Amino acid sequence: EYFGPLEEVSSLYGSMVHDEDRTALRTIWQKSLVEGTFWSGEYRFLHKATTTYRWCIVRTNPLLDSSGRPYLWVGTNMDVHELKMSREEKQRRILVEESERRYRLLTEAIPQIIWTATGDGDMVYFN
């Protein structure tokens, strides 16, 4: 669903990685190649069937030869888009609720009258 021709994959996913994630992904991959170390991160990949970017967790692990140098890399890309979107939406709701709580505390504490109304004139809030 994500990968095209082998040459696209071997060139570090080609244009499949979101522009904002490409530099970070290449940097960590190059570091991992030099050091021969495991790495993991969350990046957006182009989902070819829908032509949208989706969040994936990428993990790679080197298999080392007897001298400790990588001779093969094993990696996974796991689609976690719905999970990430759900977590972000939950975080947004928490921030809005906290903002509303602070606003109400502030408006209840001041001695002036504060009110809000809809565009039709229906009163929504009185302190």
CA distance 61 to 74: 5
- Report which of residues 50 and 7 the model is more confident about: 50
| Backbone φ and ψ of 90, nearest 5° | -60, -45
3-class SS at 103? Answer: helix
Read off the pLDDT of each residue in 34-56 and give the average, rounded to a whole number: 91
CA distance 17 to 80: 15
| Backbone φ and ψ of 84, nearest 5° | -65, -45
Residue 68: predicted pLDDT: 87
Give the residue carrying structure tokens 């071997």.
10
**In contact, 73 and 60? CB cutoff 8 Å:** yes
pLDDT at 8 over 60: no
Read off the pLDDT of each residue in 1-26 and give the average, rounded to a whole number: 68
**Average pLDDT value over all residues in the chain:** 86
Q: What count of Cα atoms within 13 Å lies in the side-chain half-sphere of residue 89? A: 6
Read off the pLDDT of each residue in 24-47 and give the average, rounded to a whole number: 90
**In contact, 97 and 104? CB cutoff 8 Å:** no
Read off the pLDDT of each residue in 45-61 and give the average, rounded to a whole number: 91
Structure tokens, 66 = 């007897």
Answer whether 0.85 is exceeded by the pTM: no
Task: Look up residue 38 and give its amino acid.
Answer: F
Q: Express each pLDDT in 55-108 by its tens digit.
A: 999 999 999 999 988 888 898 989 999 999 999 999 999 999 999 999 889 888
Note the helical H segments in 5-48: 6-10, 19-35
